[in-house]
Amino acid sequence: MPILVMKFGGTSVADLARIRAAAEKVRAEVARGHDVIVIVSAMAGRTNELVGWVNETSPMYDAREYDAVVSSGENVTAGLMALTLQEMDVPARSWQGWQVPIHTTSAHGAARIEGIDRAAIDAKFAEGFRVAVIAGFQGLSPEGRITTLGRGGSDTTAVAFAAAFDATRCDIYTDVDGIYTTDPRISAKARKLTRISFEEMLELASLGAKVLQTRSVELAMRYKVRLRVLSSFEDTDETSGTLVCDEDEIMESKVVSGVAHSRDEAKLTLVTVEDRPGIAAAIFGPLAEAGVNVDMIVQNISEQAQGEGAPREVTDMTFSCPTDQVGRARKALEAAQARGDIRFDALEVDTEVSKVSVVGIGMRSHAGVAARMFTALAAEGVNIKVIATSEIKISVLIDRRYMELAVQALHDAFELDKAD
Ligand code: ADP
Ligand code: ASP
Ligand code: MG
């Protein structure tokens, strides 16, 4: 029988009534002749609560125990979903990650799926079970410990199962009815897209659009999984939602297809570091070792240092990272200074910044996108602190209080509310 993967996010399984509504959708697909693999998230808010408990108990927590605690939300939903389906006379069985098993790396809190054993699930389907319910977000390390895949990781569990089982499609049910030109919670003018390319969705996700976890889009692109985002709160059919697909399946030809934001960014500047070969490695090496995800980097033009000692070339080095990694970054840099590996006069930290980005494959062949973006921001009086570009995106770091305004201004400037 053709296999369909259906994933339900936190708000879609927030309580027993929502689980029943999700189970109804699964039953409908079973009635249409599919065997279904259901991936469930923890009930809405549960993972945040678990993360909070871990932080309160142990701020410098052991990541293995973090995973032991934080993975548990999905276990509850998986069992409840299987029971709900059984009550509807749909033969269903649940699996936690270790039971499948879903093999992952041992990078606790951010593990990557390396393989999925099909045997146990195939055997159950062969016995006549119609639905396999899988706890999302979790797996098993080579050391035999529970791992988690990073926040939003159930999306990745879903795509990995779709690839492993050659599913007809991977449907991601959530609290919005598709992928929009920008977060519909930020701009009322956001427009739902019928299709979006893997490349653009990958950029949007990695730049903060949390509707899909970045890794899930990467996997879908690599394994050619038909990936769809749609609402669990509405009646849906074959044509609902947004399909993430290859570029050549898309009709729209806008230069910019979406605006993404990442709210909680921080900007750190090392003031007066020596400007010599190896300095960037001496700064960013220890940051990487400390697990800091450095994003944008700017190095200023070199100057002659004033004051005591022989004249030396100095510069300022600025970078951004998520706000919750500032403590780790500071520690790593201060330790490097204490070891004498780097020298700096001050470490300036600004935790009140956000990143706003425009994304579009049309940028490859159109000039002037940056100018249009900067003009729109200037017209709103938004000061740009750092700029980064790649082939299909331009990102700026700005004061957080202007984030929503910037998203809306860019959405207007690139006329994203209008279809082609
Ligand atoms: P789930 O719990 O179902 O995994 P998430 O909260 O992780 O749901 O993702 C859905 C949310 O993603 C939406 O509620 C929406 O606010 C946000 N989002 C951000 N950018 C976009 C976008 N471009 N299109 C649709 N939703 C977006
Ligand atoms: N429950 C996890 C989280 O909130 C995984 C997920 O929902 O995708 O991050
Ligand atoms: Mg999510």
CATH number, domain at 147? 3.40.1160.10
Say what the pLDDT of residue 243 is.
97
Backbone angles phi, psi at 272, to 5 degrees: 50, 70
Give me the pLDDT at residue 308, please: 67
| Helix/strand/coil percentages in the chain, nearest 5 | 35, 25, 35
Residue 95 clears pLDDT 70, i.e. is over it:
yes
Residues 283 and 399 in one domain: yes
As for how many domains the chain has, the answer is 2
Which distant-in-sequence residues (6+ apart) come within 8 Å of 207 by Cβ?
A: 260, 261, 262, 355, 357, 359, 393, 395
- Over the stretch 245-301, which tens digit does the pLDDT of each residue have? 998 888 777 899 999 999 999 999 999 999 999 999 999 999 999 889 999 999 988
What residue numbers bound the domain in which 281 lies?
260-413
Residue 182 has pLDDT above 80, yes or no: yes
In a domain, 364, yes or no: yes
Measured distance between the N- and C-terminal CA atoms of the chain, rounded to whole angstroms = 39
Assess if residue 202 is contained within a domain: no
- Taking alpha carbons only, the member of 31, 420, 367 closest to residue 257 is 420
> Could you tell me if residue 303 is inside a domain?
yes
As a residue count, the chain comes to 420
Residue 210 lies in a domain: no
Whether residues 29 and 168 fall in one domain: yes
pLDDT-based confidence at residue 59 (cuts at 50, 70, 90)? confident
236 in a structural domain: no
Q: Verify that 270 and 140 share a domain, yes or no.
A: no
Mutate to test the pocket of ligand 1, among 154, 179, 183 (most ligand atoms within 8 A of CB): 183
Name the token pair of 341: 């590996």
Beta carbons of 406 and 382 less than 8 angstroms apart: yes
Last residue within a domain, chosen from 126, 152, 175: 175
Is position 386 within any domain? yes
Of 247, 256, 265, 260, which is closest to residue 210 (Cα–Cα)? 260
Condensed to tens digits (0 to 9), the pLDDT of residues 134-151 reads 999 999 999 999 999 999
Query: Do 265 and 367 have their domain in common?
Result: yes
Q: Is residue 346 part of a domain?
A: yes
Alpha carbon nearest to ligand 1 atom 1, residue: 9
The CATH number of whichever domain residue 305 belongs to comes to: 3.30.2130.10
Output the CA angle 299-304-309, nearest 5 degrees.
Answer: 120
pLDDT per position as a tens digit, 222-238: 999 999 999 999 999 99
- Inside any domain, residue 103: yes
Domain-terminating residue out of 135, 159, 175:
175
Q: Which of 3, 75, 68, 16 is nearest to 40 (CA)?
A: 75
Q: Report the distance separating Cα 243 and Cα 171, nearest Å.
A: 9
Q: Which among 49, 71, 137, 214 is the best mutation to test ligand 2's pocket, defined by most ligand atoms within 8 Å of the CB? A: 137
Alpha-carbon 269 to chain mean position: 26
Task: Examine the fold and report which residue of 152, 175, 198 is the final residue of a domain before the chain moves on.
Answer: 175
Q: Characterize the bridge pairing of strands 227-231 and 297-299.
A: unpaired
In this structure, are 267 and 397 located in the same domain? yes
List, chain by chain if needed, residues with CB within 6 Å of any ligand 2 atom.
Answer: 9-10, 41-42, 47, 73, 136-137, 151-155
Q: Dmax of the chain from CA atoms?
A: 82
